[in-house]
Amino acid sequence: MVCGLALVAAAGPASATRGPTSGVGPDGTSLMHGDLFSTDSTPHRGPGRTARLAASSVPGGACAATFVGRDGLPVSLCTDYVGPGGVAVPTVTLFDPNSASVTARLPLTKGGLLGGVYGYLDDRDRVVVADGSGAILRVAHRRTGVGWQLYVAERTVVRQYLSPGNAVTGLAPDWQGRVWFATTHGTVGTVTYRGPQRIIRAMKLPAGEDLGNGLTIRPSGASILTTHALYEMKAAADGVPRVVWRRAYDRGPARKPGQLTWGSGTTPTYFGAGGDRWVAIVDNAARRPHLLVYRSDDGSSVCRMPAFATSGQGTENSPMARGDSLVIGSTYGYQYPPMAVTGRSIPADAGFQGGSTRIDVTENGCRRVWENGDRIATLPKLSRADGLIHALGYGPYVRGRPQQLGPVYYIATDFATGARVTTLRVGDAPLDEPMELTGTIASGGTLWQATVGRMLKITP
C-alpha cells in the first residue's frame, strides 16, 4: 500500500543552478558509490603500482564515507567514539589535504547509523546529510581568523515522516534538481527547491519492508532496494514518488554473517548502454546468493546466476560496474561491530574468506569471467582511468585466525584479469581494521581511506 504526503517547508538559501549533475559535486568524489548510478567507479587513476602511505592521522572515530570537493579538501562523515552528548557521535570532519590532520569537526544530533553514511557532496562543496533530529542538513566549511570552521548552511525538516525508531537512511539528488530521501521503515520522498521554499512529497512502501542501503538515481527515476524487493520508481509531476515496477527477491531465512540486515546487502547498480540500461542486485538466498539483472525500464529479467563460485556466499557491497561488466566482492563472514547489525545471523558466525568475481552481461545472459581470493575489507573503487580496483584488505585466509589482528594492505587488482598488481602494507589491525569503510580517489590519484583508527592518505 502507498500513500501520498505533502509539506512545504521553509529553509535557507536556494541551491545553485543545476545542470545534468543536479546539484552534486565532482564526478567520482561526491557520493559513497562514486556516482548517481552507484557504479563504485571513478574517472581518476588510483595510487596503483607506485603506491605509498604519504600521511595519516587519528580523527577519533570511524569515517564511513569521504568526499573531495572542487576545492580539493577531504571531508568525511564519521562516528566519533566520544563526543558532545556521549559516545558514537555522528560528526562531519574536515581534513588537511597535505598532512591528513583534522582541521575542523562538527558534531551532529545522533540518529540512525546510515543517515551519515549515505550523505553526499553538493555542487557548492557542502556535505548533504541527515541528522537525528529529522532534518536534512547542508554543512559548509570556511576559513576564519582562527582556522577552518564547519557550519550548517541550510536545514530542511522532514521529521513529519519519521515515526519513532525511523530515520533517514538514504539521500541523493536527481537530474531534475530534487533531493530524494528514504527512511529505515520504508518512506520514500523528494524535496523540490523553489526559491526559499522546500516542497516535500513522500509515499510509504508496504509495511514490513525496511531499507538499509542507499538510493541509486538515473535521469528518469530511482532504484530502491528494500529488505524484500527491488523497486524502480519515478517522481510524478507533483514530486510524489511512484512505483514503476517491483520485483521480489529471495531474502533467505535470516541475516548472514558479514551483512548488516536481513535481506540483500547491495545498493542497486545501474549499468550498460547509456549508463542505465540494466539494474543489478545480489539476493540473500540461503546456500548461494544470486546476481539478478533486470531491464531498468520494465523490470524484465536479463539474467539470474550464482553470484559466487568459490568465494564466501554473501555480500554487503554494491556491485561495481564498468560498461557491461560487474565486479562483486564477498563480505561473507566479515565481523562488524555488534551495534551496526540488525537481527540474528544464520549461521551465528563464519570465517571471512573473501573473494571477488567479474561477470559480463549481454542481452542473452551473463557469464563469469574470473574469480579471485582478494579479501577486500573496504568498499572498493574501480578506476575507469587505470583499469584497477583499489581497496584495503587482508592477506590470505587462514582458518581460525582472528579477522581483527594482523597486517592491513592497500591492494590494486586488474579489472581485466582479476590478478593482483600491487600489495602495500599500510597498517595493522586492530588499529587499522578497515571495517568496510568507504574511501575516495581524488583527481591527483590520492586514495583517502579511513580505518577504524586512522585516516590514510595513499598516493602514487
* pLDDT tens for each residue of 133-166: 999 999 999 999 999 999 999 999 999 988 888 8
- Indicate if the pLDDT at residue 20 is higher than 70: no
Burial of 405 (0-12, 13-18, 19+ CB in 10 A): exposed
Q: Is residue 397 helix, strand or coil?
A: coil
* Mean pLDDT within 364-374: 97
Neighbour tally for 344: CB within 10 Å: 9
- Indicate if the pLDDT at residue 62 is higher than 80: yes
Whether the model clears a pTM of 0.85, i.e. scores above it, the answer is yes
Residue 362, beta-bridge partner list: 365
Contact residues for 55 (Cβ-Cβ < 8 A; gap 6+):
98, 99, 100, 456, 457
Contact residues for 164 (Cβ-Cβ < 8 A; gap 6+):
none
- Indicate if the pLDDT at residue 1 is higher than 60: no
Cα separation, 290 vs 314, whole angstroms: 9
Q: Produce one character per residue of 212-242: b if its CB has 16 or more CB atoms within 10 Å, e if not.
A: bbbbbbbeebbbbbbbbbbbbbebeeebbbe
Model pLDDT, residue 84: 75
For 195-299, where are the E strands, in sequence order? 197-204, 216-218, 221-225, 229-235, 241-248, 269-271, 278-282, 290-295
Cα separation, 22 vs 177, whole angstroms: 5
Which tens digit of pLDDT belongs to each residue from 292-345?
Answer: 999 999 999 999 999 999 999 999 999 999 999 999 999 999 999 888 898 999
Cα separation, 391 vs 368, whole angstroms: 22
Average pLDDT score over the chain: 92
Angstrom CA distances, 163 to 168, 260, 426, stand at: 11, 22, 43
Record the cell numbers describing residue 174, joined without a space.
536527481
Cα separation, 210 vs 283, whole angstroms: 15
- High-pLDDT (> 70) share of the chain, %: 94
Neighbour tally for 84: CB within 10 Å: 8
Cα separation, 210 vs 226, whole angstroms: 5
Cα separation, 435 vs 315, whole angstroms: 14
Sign for the pseudo-dihedral over CA of 47, 48, 50, 53: positive
Residue 113: band (very low, low, confident or very high) from pLDDT cuts 50, 70, 90: low
Residue 114: band (very low, low, confident or very high) from pLDDT cuts 50, 70, 90: very low
Model pLDDT, residue 112: 59
Which tens digit of pLDDT belongs to each residue from 182-219?
Answer: 999 999 999 999 888 999 999 999 999 999 889 999 99
* Residues 64 and 85 sit within 8 Å (Cβ to Cβ): no
Cα separation, 172 vs 136, whole angstroms: 11
Domain count, the chain: 1
- Indicate if the pLDDT at residue 404 is higher than 90: no
- Indicate if the pLDDT at residue 411 is higher than 60: yes
- Indicate if the pLDDT at residue 269 is higher than 90: yes
Cα separation, 351 vs 284, whole angstroms: 18
Q: Where do runs of H (alpha helix) occur along 29-139?
A: 113-117
* Mean pLDDT within 16-32: 72
What is the span of the domain harbouring residue 97?
A: 5-459
Cα separation, 383 vs 390, whole angstroms: 8
CATH of the domain at 160: 2.140.10.10
